[in-house]
Structure 1
Amino acid sequence: MNKEKVLHLLGLAMRAGKLVTGEELTVADIRKNKTKFAFVASDASENTKKKIKDKCSYYNVSWNDSFAQSEISQAIGKTRMVIGINDAGFAAKFRELIKG
């Protein structure tokens, strides 16, 4: 996985307005089937990770937890632990980059 490319793409998705940030907003969008891919910080609490992973599993949404909160926050310019990608094109590219 090329972490640099993934983080750069996160910033691009943020500027394009294709992200939802924060735990509650991301969970709400997962429930509405808007979110196509989710990121949860590797240093998030176990509760937060479990909540996001369970929602993603139930609603068949891909997710990733290999980035620290500092990396995610720097990429999007906001301090966040959880991010949802609400665009199918961006989500497909994230899946491709993460699988390597």
Structure 2
Amino acid sequence: MNKQQALNLLGLAKRAGRLVTGEGFVLGAIRDQSAKLVLVASDASANTRKKFSDKSDFYAVPISFALSAEELTDAIGSQRSLIAVQDNGFAKKLLKLLT
């Protein structure tokens, strides 16, 4: 139930224009601290998971590995395994639903 609510909220954040997707854009959002939450697919490569985990730890950005690439893709309507949420409200609610 919570996972489905999180996926619905992710779709809403996409429509609101508060998501950044793609490796380079997500890295940029982490560096300029506009990212409030980073979502990395649970089935992403080990290299990608480590890279974004390390970067998120360094910049103190919360990170979640709770959703698969397929779930992220279905939620936002485009194939992605890496998403940065740029809104505090969406990020807090997603973290609450995914933990």
Runs of 4+ in 1 over 3 A off after TM superposition: none
Alignment gaps of 5+ in structure 1: none
Percent identity between the aligned chains?
A: 46
How far apart are the structure 1 equivalents of 2:54 and 2:93?
Answer: 23
Q: What is the 5 A alignment of 1:62-77?
A: 62-77=62-77
Per-residue CA deviations over 1:22-72 (Å, capped at 9, x if unaligned) read 111101110000000010001111010111111110010111112110100
Q: Taking structure 1 as the reference length, what is the TM-score of the superposition?
A: 0.95
Structure 1 match to 2:58:
58
1:21 paired with 2:24, answer no
Q: Taking structure 2 as the reference length, what is the TM-score of the superposition?
A: 0.96
1:94, distance to aligned residue in structure 2 (A)? 1.1
Structure 2 match to 1:87:
87
Amino acid of the structure 2 residue aligned with 1:59: Y
Secondary structure of the residue aligned to 2:55 is: helix
Count of aligned pairs between the two proteins: 99
Cα RMSD (Å) of the superposition?
1.0
How far apart are the structure 2 equivalents of 1:60 and 1:36?
Answer: 9
Alignment gaps of 5+ in structure 2: none
